[in-house]
Amino acid sequence: MLLTAFYFPGIMVDHITRTVRQGFFSRLANSFVGILCGLLLVPGSVLLIGWNEYRTVHRSKGLAEAEGIVTGVVEPFEISQSQNDKLVHVIGTATTEEELSDAEFGISQTVLRLERKVEMYQWVERKEQKTRDKVGGGRETITTYSYEKKWHDGRVDSDRFEKRSNHENPSLRYSPKSLVTDRATLGVLRLPSSLVESRMNSWKNTPLDTVAVLFKFDDLAKQHFKVDGDTLYYSSVVPMVKEPQLGDLRISFRVVEPAIVSVLSKQQGEELVPYKTSNGETIQHLMMGNVTAAAMFESLKLENTTIAWLFRIGGWVMACVGFSLIVGPMKAVANIIPIFGSIVETVTFFVAVLLGSIVSLVTIAIAWISVRPLFAIGLIALAAGAIYLLSRQGKRTSGGLESSDPPVLTPL
């Protein structure tokens, strides 16, 4: 282990380098363990992609049904019995009469959300890793851990650092805090706090008044605080904005004020509750501003598509990694001579990506074939193209091996 430390004005950065060497047989044994992991990842990717396609189709059908039955804009000024138990589109001002308070600092406002953000000046660890193959099939891994003092949300757990000594982060004197009203209204309708919390994020910083914020503190405690604009600084000694000390806190407050919103939900008396489609899909959505029902459903469709692609990409990556692990022993053996190992690793990576793509595309196509046959046929065509590329790669490889046969020597 090599330990070095570099010093800069007002800041210290430590660098620790650890080198781990792995022999050929150890690496080969690990590659066989990797085969088992790969044999789990590939079918796991098929299950993930298959479930995701089912979820996507199911959600799409639910959204299509809901879009066809949603009512026109409902005025939130009186309870309409004719709209009871129906999916309604409501536009109005989301507001509340409840006062949210952060009693520790005397912050109190009639708002929908109130949040205390706390940052601490503390040690943060950064990890960089480099790996290189050695002649004989071994491998050398060089890991560099660097430590720097900087502002960071909450507290970084220094007990998990590679080098804990001289990098201990103190505990937070004041923790982050988040408050949401449970008495939000939209006209005469009650707005669920879950919608307020998940969808209303139009934050506005709260200006601070030194006297009001520090009203509950005695003169001795006040010396540890300093207000600078919208930020309150705390230090166990004397707070210095430009020269923070380890453990100093930077505290700010922000709120979500009453605002015009558009809501898709089921009206049940005075309540707005989730609407269930015939296939069990839940519809409840809020968007900031005056938004049409059509635009809100487009937002929900885009959300469904985005989730679908995230899972598709995740499943594809799982399949590619799985196939890459399955051919691990081949790479381990080839790395006896590093230059050959690099060639084999490039080829196997290409093959793993192609195989992962084929598995992913075929799985998605099977899931969609009864719903969108043209889309499924297109995916199958892409899979066929990947198979063709794979077969060509195989022919090139075998051709290269044939051409590398030793020449026939003839006597002089």
3-state SS, the chain, equals CEEEEEEECCEEEEEEEEEEEECHHHHHHHHHHHHHHHHHHHHHHHHHHHHHHHHHHHHHHHHHHHHHHCCCEECCCCCCHHHCCCEEEEEEEEEECCCEEECCCCEEECCCEEEEEEEEEEEEEEEEEEEEECCCCCEEEEEEEEEEEEEEECCCCHHHCCCCCCCCCCCCCCCCEEEECCCEEECCEEECHHHHHHHCCCCEECCCCHHHHCCCCCHHHHCCEEEECCEEEECCCCCCCCCCCCCCEEEEEEEECCEEEEEEEEEECCEEECEECCCCCEECEEEECCCCHHHHHHHHHHHHHHHHHHHHHHHHHHHHHHHHHHCHHHHHHHCCCHHHHHHHHHHHHHHHHHHHHHHHHHHHHHHHCCCCHHHHHHHHHHHHHHHHHHHHHHHHHHHHHHHCCCCCCCCC
Gap between the Cα atoms of 348 and 343, Å rounded: 9
The tens digit of pLDDT for each residue in 252-303 reads 999 999 999 999 999 999 999 999 999 999 999 999 999 999 999 999 999 9
pLDDT at 370: 56
Which pLDDT value is given to residue 390? 64
Residue with tokens 């709260």: 206
DSSP string, 243-300: S--TT-EEEEEEEE--EEEEEEEEEETTEEE-EE-TT--EE-EEEESS--HHHHHHHH
* Residue pair 119/133 in contact by the 8 Å Cβ criterion: no
pLDDT of residue 187: 92
Amino acid 349: pLDDT: 86
- Residue 192 has what pLDDT? 94
Annotate 114-141 with b (16+ C-beta within 10 A) or e (fewer): bbbbbbbbbbbbeeeeeeebeeebbbee
- Return the ∠ at Cα 77 (arms to 72 and 82), rounded to 5°: 50
Task: Assess contact for 358 and 316: CB atoms under 8 A.
Answer: no
Q: How far from chain centre, in Å, is Cα 206?
A: 28
Q: Which long-range contacts (CB under 8 A, 24 or more apart) does 209-218 make?
A: 212/106, 213/105, 213/106, 213/107, 214/106, 215/106, 216/104, 216/105, 216/106
Q: Check residue 393 and give its pLDDT.
A: 59
pLDDT value, residue 247: 95
pTM > 0.85: yes or no? no
Tell me, what's the pLDDT at 156?
Answer: 96
CB 124 within 8 A of CB 14: no
Structure tokens at 285: 């959505």
Query: 352 by DSSP, 3-state: which?
Result: helix
How crowded is residue 158: how many other Cβ atoms within 10 Å of its Cβ?
18
Strand, helix or coil for residue 233: strand
Write out residues in the chain with pLDDT < 50, as ranges.
Answer: 1-12, 401-412
